Amino acid sequence: MASNRTLNFLGYAYGNSSVSLAATINGVSVFNGEIATLDEPLPSDQVNMSNAPTLFSVENTDLFPTTFGGSYPMSVTVTGGYGAVFGPITSNYMLLYTPTTTATLANSSIQGNTLTIGSVVSGTVKKGQVLSGNGISNGPYIVDGSDNTWTVSQSQSVTDIDISATTQEPTAGNATSYLGCYDGTPVNSEGTPDSRSSVYIDGVQQVPPLPVSRGVQSWTVLAGSTITYNLNVSTGNDNIGP
């Protein structure tokens, strides 16, 4: 049975008076009220969102059961203060991935895109494993191969080293762990990794960063303005198994 999810909208609000937000998703009012406000000027550059607080939440909503994967139109109107900067959107019941060492290799080398294994100390070598070790950069992964010779995704030049091969083991999401609500599927309207696409502020289309950013763009909205966009949410997961 599908679980309803909670979405948290992270960011910062700025002003010498309280900022209020009025948010709708797919025509449904999901928040209308004051939010915590910093008595500071509105930043002119991108804001570091690594420790951003939750501005508001949409809790246990049937808009986003774990079976939902797609997009809804969303709008947020900002009033009071100077404005707000909107950053990541997180959700519970998102599939968790834990890196697990599944093979350890000794006296091995990577030359160009070829991995040559000296010996397998433990585990089994297989496609998709990410390689790490002294001198290995950018996390190449195994594309294909067999026995002691495998093709890797990125060219390297390292010899006679010990290598750890890891895989990402899936774990079912849960009610109290929150990750980004969008993992790139289904592909959003602009083909970016962002949970917001086709962004407009006061009816003016906002062009995504070029080259396309590999993270989540933050969006600054002045008091008295409205941001609209496609809110992209990937399918949730509250069960691992057949």
- Residues of the chain above pLDDT 90, percent: 75
What gap in Å lies between CA 34 and CA 18, rounded to an integer?
Answer: 6
Q: Are residues 151 and 196 in the same domain?
A: no
User: What global pTM score does this model have?
Assistant: 0.74
Q: Are residues 125 and 77 in the same domain?
A: no
Strands 4-14 and 83-91 turn out to be antiparallel
- Both 88 and 111 in one domain: the answer is no
For residue 46, the 8-state DSSP code is P
- CA 6 to CA 25: how far, in whole Å? 13
Q: Are 164 and 178 within one domain?
A: no
pLDDT band with cut points at 50, 70 and 90 for residue 241: low
Rounded to whole angstroms, what are the CA distances from 20 to 15, 37, 40, 55, 88? 11, 9, 16, 10, 19
Give domain status of residue 241, yes or no.
no
- pLDDT value at residue 64: 97
| Domain contains 242 | no
Is the CB of residue 234 less than 8 Å from the CB of residue 240? no
Q: What is the pLDDT of residue 216?
A: 67
CA distance 110 to 131: 10
Please check whether residues 71 and 121 belong to one and the same domain: no
Count of domains for the chain: 2
Q: Give the span between the Cα atoms of 88 and 48, in whole angstroms.
A: 11
Average pLDDT, the chain: 92
User: Tens digit of pLDDT for each residue in 76-130?
Assistant: 999 999 999 999 999 999 988 777 888 999 999 999 999 999 999 999 999 989 9
∠ CA 70-28-14, nearest 5°, is 90
**Is 49 a member of any domain?**
yes
Range of the domain at 89: 4-94+172-233
Which residues fall within 8 angstroms of residue 223, CB to CB, at 6 or more apart?
15, 19, 78, 79, 80, 81, 82, 83
Task: Please report whether residue 238 resides in a domain.
Answer: no
Residue 239 lies in a domain: no
The values of phi and psi at residue 138, to 5°, are: 65, 15
122 assigned to some structural domain: yes
Last residue of a domain, one of 131, 146, 170: 170
Do 203 and 217 fall within a single domain? yes
DSSP secondary structure letter of residue 141? B
Q: Does a structural domain hold residue 77?
A: yes
Same domain, 161 and 220: no
Given 128, 151, 170, the domain boundary residue is: 170
Domain co-membership, 88 together with 184:
yes
Mean pLDDT for the stretch of residues 18-26: 98
Q: Which two tokens mark 136? A: 């290995």
Q: Are residues 115 and 49 in the same domain?
A: no
Q: Are residues 13 and 82 in the same domain?
A: yes
Token code pair at residue 225: 């303005």
Interatomic CA distance for residues 217 and 49, integer angstroms: 10
Report the CATH number at residue 129.
2.40.30
**Is residue 162 located within the same domain as residue 207?**
no
Question: Please, are residues 2 and 65 in contact by the beta-carbon 8 Å criterion?
Answer: yes
Q: Is residue 74 located within the same domain as residue 182?
A: yes
pLDDT tens digits along 42-89: 998 878 898 999 999 999 999 999 999 999 999 999 999 999 999 999
